[in-house]
Amino acid sequence: MNALLGPIDDDGRIPPTQQTRIAAFLMSAHGAQARQLVTTMPMRLRQPWHIELHAQYCREMEILSLIMHSTSWVPDPQLPFLLWQWETTWMPRPMQGAGDHFHGLLVDMAALGHAIHAGIRPAALLPEGVAPFDPFVLAMRRIEFESGRLLQAQILFLKGPQLVEVRNEVADAVERRHDQVRELWTSMLKGLNVVAE
């Protein structure tokens, strides 16, 4: 087991098998966020938070496109099973006590977003000597950086005044989503002989 991705090849690139598995995981997670955002967003944007949802959706789509076009994809026979496992985990689970079903969904979506954007740090797995301008490397760094910004909308919402009365339930929902994301992320990395601390 290693703490970082690799071994890198002579050109400083991450092995395509590792690229494929990580890219698939990220596409699954960020794709789930994009789907949830687009189904929550009304056709006409009328409220300030609608604008934020739209911005989030566009950034998630950018991340998906970036992964799609920067990864050296290779066949991975385990992906169908893994994708099924990942996708079922991302399914909405409305938080109880949020007032109504819709708000419960919003909290869960934000909790999952918080877990994905805060809990997954792909750039931290890049080993020393990696080619700094390799597209996959650049993409991982960009995704981690953008995740730090995307996280802000989730933090603002989850810490916002409208949820103060259910703060403990919100904290539990966020913890639960973090645990799920962490478990899948570390399990996926373990399959690549990488142990994430």
Partner 1 sequence: MPWLTCNSRRIHYELSGPEDGPVCVLLNGLTQYIKLWMPFRDGLVARGFRVASYDMLGQGQSDKPRLFIEQDDQVEVLRDLIAALGPGPVFVGGISFGGVIALRYAIEYPDTIAGLVPMSSFAEVPPQLMRLGTAMRTALILGGTTYLQDLLFPMNFSNAWLEAKADIIGLATYRGWLINDVYALQNLMESFLSFEPLTPKLSSIRAPTMIMTGEFDFLTPRPLQDSLRTHIPDSALVIIPRAYHAFTLERAELAAYVMARFAEDVMAGRFQGKKTIWIAPEEVGGELTPFPAGFDHLRSIPVRLPTPETPETSEPAQQREAASS
Contacts to partner 1 by CB under 8 A: 114-115, 118, 121, 124, 145, 148-149, 151-152, 155, 158-159, 167, 170-171, 174-175, 178, 197
User: Quick one: angle between helices 135-158 and 101-119, nearest 10?
Assistant: 140
- CB of 34 vs partner 1, minimal distance in Å: 21
- CB of 124 vs partner 1, minimal distance in Å: 6
Q: Which is nearer to partner 1, 165 or 175 (CB)?
A: 175
- CB of 49 vs partner 1, minimal distance in Å: 18
Q: Which is nearer to partner 1, 171 or 195 (CB)?
A: 171
Task: Give 183: exposed, middle or buried? Use CB within 10 Å, 0-12, 13-18, 19+.
Answer: exposed
Q: Which is nearer to partner 1, 78 or 175 (CB)?
A: 175
What is the C-alpha separation between 129 and 127, in angstroms, rounded?
6
For residue 17, what are its two tokens?
Answer: 């098998």
- DSSP three-state, residue 2: strand
Q: Which is nearer to partner 1, 24 or 66 (CB)?
A: 66
- CB of 145 vs partner 1, minimal distance in Å: 6
Bridge partners of 194, per DSSP, are 2
Asked if residues 120 and 185 have their Cβ atoms less than 8 Å apart, the reply is: yes
